[in-house]
Structure 1
């Protein structure tokens, strides 16, 4: 980035902060104080994470070789309560092992099912809700939020309770105006749309024409296709339109 200068060669300021020009020609206000505070906070967080990891590592050494300590304790208690005479019979021992395995597997399946359900609900609320509430999608894009999510939803995930966006190479997207901070949902969505080859056919007011745009009503750039069918049909229509336009 280059420092933006006025006609007299002086640095351009906005709210007392210098303005820089990115390679694509857009302006970015640089908050030096905010950046310094962010770096200090990230360093403190990294130290805290490292210390917690060291404590956890020391605590886990006593459980090496045990995948589920709680279940292991339950199994030991169950064995301790068994009639010692029955254990003499090898057939009874195998029966006990089988019953323990069935009970554990049933509990594990239940827990996994509940975890998967909760994960789906969390994804629907945090990511699906973000698409539904996105001002960028509502104001800048000419396709409904559900289709925006169908296109760009795979770029978003939930990490440590936060919505994180990644580019096609798996790199996290960071804010341009707040260095060191992850990009907010709308900022990240804007970056992804800007990288999309068919962006001119999904953005409002781009002036695009042809099979992927409408020239009436002054709202150029609105894609046309089978938007009255199912979601799958609508997604397929957008894909066909953008592929024909490229």
Structure 2
């Protein structure tokens, strides 16, 4: 629905006299980027008013360049981002991930090396789920949880069922130079999948699964969760640092969080859980 989104964006000014702000531009950049229209998104950022904060728009576009493997524009976007925020780890990580997705391992390592030289540290990715009176926290490949073996076995079995339904693991989300079979195994151990598996195995049928993650959900986990929701007949709400991802009845609804600072506060406040 890109055309409809652009139509609404232009109507703000033309029909209602409302000047779009930085968040509006960032939303349209995200809209274009998700649809693969990376060049158009880049052009839109370049015509944003000079006084606007462009970090949100640049960040969305870098994510789109990674997803659609547009290295040429991605490098330009990263250069702009790192000039504005040289100490933000997520910018380096996105750039490194973009290189890894097209197997440019040397360039990916150069970005990680520069990150280290700058003293910028990446926050470890983890997911959590509330069950009873406790919060259960998972890291990728986590084997420390008492139910770890059960969770990994369940996900491996579920992955085979998902493949029969049409699921194809997105191994580009594994940012290591290993063979395809090992990449699929690593994908099964992503933290959000472990948290979702815990919710499925420990709650009654029909219970909504609510999981939160401190970083962005990867493309594979997003696609896999859609299949999981369908196969186990569960509503799943997955909250990452950028948006709520709502999976129900084979449909997916992603609700962006415009104010990243307020978004982080919501994650920490259990009274405002999704």
Q: What's the TM-score bracket when you normalise by the shorter of the two chains? A: under 0.3
TM-score where L is the length of structure 2: 0.21
State the structure with more CA Rg. Answer: 1
TM-score where L is the length of structure 1: 0.22
